[in-house]
Amino acid sequence: MRASVSAFLARSAWYCFIWASFSAELPVSSLILRSRPSILVMLLSASLLSALRSSLIFSISAFLFSMSVWSLAF
């Protein structure tokens, strides 16, 4: 159950990244700046759990997304 939830969170984070990269105004950045610690913890834990349970390529992409969110937040 936990693995499916973490995979869903990591997949959702990846889709949000794709959506934000094609958006001109990047509305996700204001949300990240307002609640930065909770979102970053969620993304990093989702990428860690998906690294333990999912394929290597998907976990690397989730980790890279967390790092891009981190750089966007600062």
For residue 19, give Cα distances in angstroms to 1, 38, 52, 59. Answer: 27, 20, 26, 19
CA–CA separation, 53 and 39 (whole Å):
21
- In tens, the pLDDT along 1-54 reads 566 777 777 777 776 666 555 554 445 555 555 555 566 666 666 666 666 665
Q: What letter represents residue 71's amino acid?
A: S
Q: What was the pLDDT predicted at 44?
A: 67
- In tens, the pLDDT along 9-23 reads 777 777 666 655 555
* Model confidence, pTM: 0.31
